[in-house]
Every structure is written in structure tokens, then in C-alpha cells.
Amino acid sequence: MKCDRSWLTIQSIALGVLLYGTALCFAQERPTILAGHGTLSGSILPLWVGVDAKLFEKHGLQVKPIYLPRAAGRPALLSGDIQVYFSAGPPLVQMRLGGADVAVTSCVVHKLTSKIMVIPAIQKIADLRGKVLAVANPGSASDFAAKLFLARQGMKPVQDISIIYTGSTSAAFAALVNGRVQGIFTTSPNDMQAAAAGFKALLELADLNIPYAGNCSAVMRSYIAKQPARVRSFVAGITEAIAHIRRRPNEAKASLEKYTRVSDPAILQHTYDSDTRYMESVPYPSPEGTKTILDNLGVTGRAADQFVAEFIDDRFMKQIIDDGWLKQIYPGGVSAR
């Protein structure tokens, strides 16, 4: 029997069109989450790598990172313009204290890791008295770090040290360079930039082992109630991204270069080393870190315990562990806590 090759060709084309259309349909049906973030630094690396390595897609989710500077992420989350806000803990705690029904589903960092960069004339912490420090915005991570540090050193803003708000980390660095301030609170890669400009590290807060809630994913409770599967997929993607970052450093540094637009290999390596050093393998929300933030805001005791119970939503992380997902991304084993 002879085959009509032209007919087979037509059938092959038709099948290809059908499969393409089906794949396109599934792609269009994959739910999307818009994830806002307020900084362009290594702290956002799990989100960026989760997108670039298609780890969220692996869990059936499209995630689009959106840079929202100058605290624009908080109102965007409240209005529903974004579904997840990837942020340091202090702004999220303040949102909740202000009445926003927001919950934290993961936190990548569980201790304060800022670094104080100062002018060379400052030799010790006591030399900070009478000086001016710059932080980004009121309620920002750098603002929290500065006030917590001063409180633990027995110093008070205004009375002992002046704090000014510059609007961004880059503006704080500019204020240090032009002499408006004598110190800044910073993270990588800005600390390396400051060192290259002749400034020095006075203290690494990570050495103090202060519990903290950093690089957290925050979601409105109303969205969690409507879309729990999407939130679980997001948490799974962030968790897998941390393992991916450690396993494939070159890919992680490529994502850093893409989003921060920094191409210097030394800066990229420094940022990678600094941020991966403190990443939790299992990014549970941090009750202890949340209480540190609350304590600095004057919320303690039973009020703090109640706040933590309402603010932290770790059900999705527990589901991932119960389903055995950690064993797949960490074949060699990892502690769930």
C-alpha cells in the first residue's frame, strides 16, 4: 500500500498546530502572581532565581517580579495591585499594627545582617555620638536596624545621634560620599561600594546574632483565603530557589547581574557570598525575629504573642515538609527547623 506523503505532511502540520495551541492554552491558563519588592539587592535573589530558573512554573505558577521603590509596595499590596510583597519584616509588622490584614508566609533570613559603614575618623562605637547617620525611609529595614542598634548601645536618636531619611539606599550612600552624614546602615553590594570609596565597616550586626525577620513574603489574608494553592506554589518556589542558589552559584550570579545591572565579577561574588551566608534552607516565618521587631516598637508580652499568632502563617511551609518536598530538593537531608 502506498502512502500519500502530502497527506502525512498535512496531518503532521495539523498535529503540530494542535499541540502548539494546547500548550499555549495551558500557558495562558497558568495563574500569575505579581510580586513586588522595594530594593535591588542580593536580598531579592530567591525571588529572581525562582523566576529565571522557572521554579515557580514547575509548581504551576507564573511569577512576575516588580520593583516598587520608596515604600510603594505596601499600598500596592493593600490595593491588590500586587499579590505578594517581598520585604524586610519591619514594614510588614507596621502594616499589620496599622490594621492591614497581612500575613507572612516565609522569611529567608532569621537574623539582622546590616553593616555600619562610617568615615575613617570614627574608630569605635562611642565615636558615633554627635554624628549624623543616613537610612533609606521611615519604617525601612535600615531605619529599624539603626534604631535597634542605638537602643542596644544606650543611645537615643536626636539626643545622641541624628538620623536623616534619604529616600533610598543609593541616596544614603551619596550623602556619605558628599559629607552630609558620617555613617550609613547598608547591605551587600553597597557595603563593598562604600569600602571602595574609602569608608570602613564599624560593625557587622550579624555578629550580634539578633533574631530578625528578613526577606519575607507577605500576602493579604483575603488573597490566601481565595487562592491557597497559589500561595503554596509561591512558597514552594522560594524554598526551592534557595537550594538552587547554593547548588548553581553561576546561575544565581547571572540573575544578580540581570536585575541589579552590576557586571563587576568581584561585586557579584561578594554579594552572592554575603547573602547566601545567612539564607535559611527552610524559610519558615520567624516568630523570634518578629518579636524583636515588636519589642523595638514597644509591643511585648501577651500582645506580642497574639500578634505573632495572627501575623505568621506557616501552614504552606508545613505542607511542603509533610508532602516530602524537602527530600527532593535536599537529597542529602536538611533540618526542617
Instruction: Identify residue 82 by its one-letter amino acid code.
Output: I
Under 8 Å between Cβ of 218 and 105? yes
Confidence band of 233 (pLDDT split at 50, 70, 90): very high
- Of 108, 94, 184, the residue nearest 146 (C-alpha): 184
pTM over 0.75: yes
DSSP state of 187: -
Take residue 186 and report the three cell numbers written for it.
Answer: 547598608
> Residue type for 57, please?
E
Sole residue written with cell 553597597: 190
pLDDT tens profile 52-61: 999 999 999 9
In eight-state DSSP terms, residue 31 is -
For residue 244, give the amino acid letter. Answer: H
Residue 91 and residue 140 in contact, taking contact as beta carbons nearer than 8 Å: yes
Tens digits of per-residue pLDDT, 267-317?
999 999 999 999 999 999 999 999 999 998 999 999 999 999 999 999 999
- List the one residue out of 182, 219, 258 whose CA is nearest residue 86: 219
* Confidence label for 335 from pLDDT (cuts 50, 70 and 90): low
Q: How confident is the prediction for the chain on average, in pLDDT? A: 89
- The answer to whether 182 touches 132, Cβ cutoff 8 Å, is yes
Vertex 105: Cα angle to 89 and 74 (nearest 5): 50
**What pLDDT was estimated at residue 327?**
87
Cis omega (within 30 of 0) on the bond before 69?
no
The CATH number, out of the four listed (3.40.190.10, 3.40.50.620, 3.40.50.1100, 3.40.50.2300), of the domain defined by the range 115-208: 3.40.190.10
Percent of residues, the chain, with pLDDT higher than 90: 73
In this model, does residue 29 exceed pLDDT 70? no
- All CATH 3.40.190.10 domain ranges of the chain, comma separated, are 31-111+211-329, 115-208
- What does the longest C-alpha to C-alpha distance in the chain come to? 98
Mean pLDDT, rounded, for 71-95: 94
pLDDT of 139 over the 70 cut: yes
Three-class HEC string of the chain = CCCCHHHHHHHHHHHHHHHHHHHHHHHHHCCEEEEEECCCCHHHHHHHHHHHCCHHHHCCCEEEEEECCCCCHHHHHHHCCCCEEEECHHHHHHHHHCCCCEEEEEEEEEECCCEEEECCCCCCHHHHCCCEEEECCCCCHHHHHHHHHHHHCCCCECCCEEEEECCCHHHHHHHHHCCCCCEEEECCCHHHHHHHCCCEEEEEHHHHCCEEEEEEEEEEHHHHHHCHHHHHHHHHHHHHHHHHHHHCHHHHHHHHHHHHCCCCHHHHHHHHHHHHCCECCCCCCCHHHHHHHHHHCCCCHHHHHHHHHHHECCHHHHHHHHCCHHHHHCCCCCCCC
- Asked if residue 26 has pLDDT above 70, the reply is no
What is the reported pLDDT for 15?
A: 31
Fold of 31-111+211-329: D-Maltodextrin-Binding Protein; domain 2 (3.40.190)
